[in-house]
Amino acid sequence: MAVNELFARATRKLVAKGTTLGLERTAETVRRRGGEPLAVVLPDGSRIDFGQSPRVVLTVRDDQALAALAKPTLGTLGSAFVEGGIDIDGDMAEVIRIAECLSDAAGANVADRPPIQAIRHSPRLDREAIHHHYDVGNDFYRLWLDPRMVYSCAYFRNPGDSLEDAQFAKLDLICRKLRLRAGERFLDIGCGWGGLVLHAAENYGVNAVGITLSDGQFALARERVAAAGLADRIEILQLDYRDLEERFGPAVFDKVASVGMFEHVGLRNLPEYFAIAATMVRPGGLFLNHGITSADIENRPVGGGAGDFIDEYIFPHGELPHVHLAVREMAAQGFELCDIESLRRHYALTLSHWSRRLEEHLDEARRFTQERILRAWRAYLAGCAYGFAKGWMNIYQLLGTRPYQDGRIEVPLTRDWLYR
């Protein structure tokens, strides 16, 4: 055997020994804190227990994944799982909780947020990101979304509500907040698979336009509109929000909504985004923005490597503003804010439903997508459910109106109308 190969093998053994010692130190720290129901099986078959009867077993497949466990962060652990270096046996919700515990014991903390790295979002960049996130395949999303395929935070009147009921309640809440009336023109920016425009047309009698950049969403939304017999009242377009004014002209919509879309806009593009929304809605009309926000006042992403994991595997180029920045930019474009509502706890419940549903359909999911992609989504949904429950990020509905020149607005004096 060549000297270089002998040296390389010896080096790998030393590195593996060092990373094993690091993992054992982390395990000792966890045991001193009361322990966790975790066991880690190493590449050589040995096992490290973390102090309680294990309900979660992590099997490490190679030395590179072992290195990720020596000083773990949420990002490195998630990446090792996605890339096949770690296999998981156990409930994903508990896996995420234990992963945070390991990260904390090793000195990594989600409160240590990385600096902002805002980029200039272009139509090409946004289209690529949309395809990466949404065009995993309609059959894949059907496995864990509700029958309406509403891919945004639901609204739970009670924690025990079904996902189906909670999504209906969310769609109806948006329509009530917008005070939709029969015959009005309604625009949904980022319409997904058409759930909101269908609900608004069927239950409130509006004429609706929905836009999306996703190929899969565009095709299925049009099919669903046709199947519902509403093609004369709902138009689905594959269109960038920056092209709305050229396509329709200004002030042609009575009400406008954007649900789960402004996460793709980018911090630098927020003024343009809200300006376009203001241009599209008539004076006196209403605009509702429903979107995820950073919990950090400086708009920094989640720490512990979690933000990096989401950017790499799930949501490229996503940037979350703190709610104060969203309110500021919305007001700067002439909107008067009528209502602000946090849905953070609702999204924790929604994501828990989605995560459980996906876990119940893993064999079917493998028929529709690659194992690597499936693992990324398993980690993402369970991790986000945990993150929203812990307050690592938030989600708000912001309702604004464009006042008339004399200051009048078409909103009642009290908020009773919101919940009738």
Q: Which residues are catalytic?
A: 384
Q: Which among 327, 316, 317 has a CA at the least distance from the CA of 291?
A: 327
User: What span, in angstroms and rounded, lies between the C-alpha atoms of 362 and 381?
Assistant: 13
Whole-number Cα distances in Å, 155 to 150, 198, 271, 295, 401: 12, 18, 28, 20, 23
* Size of the chain in residues: 420
Half-sphere exposure of 260 (CA within 13 A, CB side): 22
User: What span, in angstroms and rounded, lies between the C-alpha atoms of 78 and 23?
Assistant: 16
Q: Please give the order of strands across the beta sheet that includes 281-294.
A: 234-238, 207-212, 185-189, 253-259, 281-294, 393-401, 336-342
3-state secondary structure of 394: strand
Tell me the two tokens of residue 165.
């009921």
Q: Do 191 and 210 meet the contact criterion of CB atoms below 8 Å apart?
A: yes
* Residue 64 neighbours by CB under 8 Å, 6+ apart: 80, 85
The label of the residue with tokens 């010692």 reads: 21
Whole-number Cα distances in Å, 19 to 63, 71, 88, 95, 306: 9, 8, 20, 21, 22
DSSP character for 290?
A: E
User: What span, in angstroms and rounded, lies between the C-alpha atoms of 104 and 72?
Assistant: 9
The 8 Å CB, 24+ separation contacts for 365-372 are 365/140, 365/143, 368/137, 368/139, 368/140, 368/143, 369/136, 369/137, 369/140, 371/84, 372/82, 372/83, 372/84
Tell me the two tokens of residue 372.
């690597």
Q: For residue 255, list its beta bridge partners.
A: 186, 286
DSSP character for 322?
A: B
